[in-house]
Amino acid sequence: MPRVAQLVKLVLADVSGQHRFYAERDPLSSIPSDFVREVVYSLLDRGLPPAGPCLHRCPMLLLAGFEDPLIQADAGEDFTLLLHALSGFGRLGLPQALTWRQVRFTFGDVLMRIEGYFEARPEARTRRHDAMVDVGALRWAFEQIGGNRA
Domain membership of residue 99 (yes or no) is yes
- Report whether pLDDT(122) > 90: yes
pLDDT of residue 87: 75
Digit-coded pLDDT (tens) for 77-121: 887 888 877 777 766 666 555 666 666 655 567 788 999 999 999
Cα(110)–Cα(86) distance, rounded to whole angstroms?
Answer: 25
Residue 134 within a domain: no
- Spacing of C-alpha 6 from chain mean position: 13
pTM over 0.85: no
Assess if residue 20 is contained within a domain.
Answer: yes
pLDDT attached to residue 83: 80
34 is a domain residue: yes
Helix 112-120 / helix 131-144 crossing angle, nearest 10 deg? 120
Predicted confidence at residue 147, as pLDDT, reads 64
Q: What is the pLDDT at residue 54? A: 47
Q: What is the pLDDT of residues 31-86, one digit of tens each?
A: 888 988 999 999 887 765 555 544 445 677 777 777 777 787 767 788 788 887 77
Give, as one character, the DSSP assignment of residue 56. Answer: B
Q: What 3-state class would DSSP assign to 27?
A: coil
Does the pLDDT of residue 130 top 80, yes or no? yes
Classify residue 132: in a domain, yes or no. no
pLDDT score, position 117: 95
Q: Is residue 121 part of a domain?
A: no
> What's the number of domains the chain is made of?
1
Within a domain: 78: yes
The strand pairing partners of 21, in sequence order, are 12, 56
Full domain range(s) for residue 67: 9-105
Instruction: With a cut of 70, say whether residue 125 has pLDDT above it.
Output: yes
> For residue 124, is it within any domain?
no
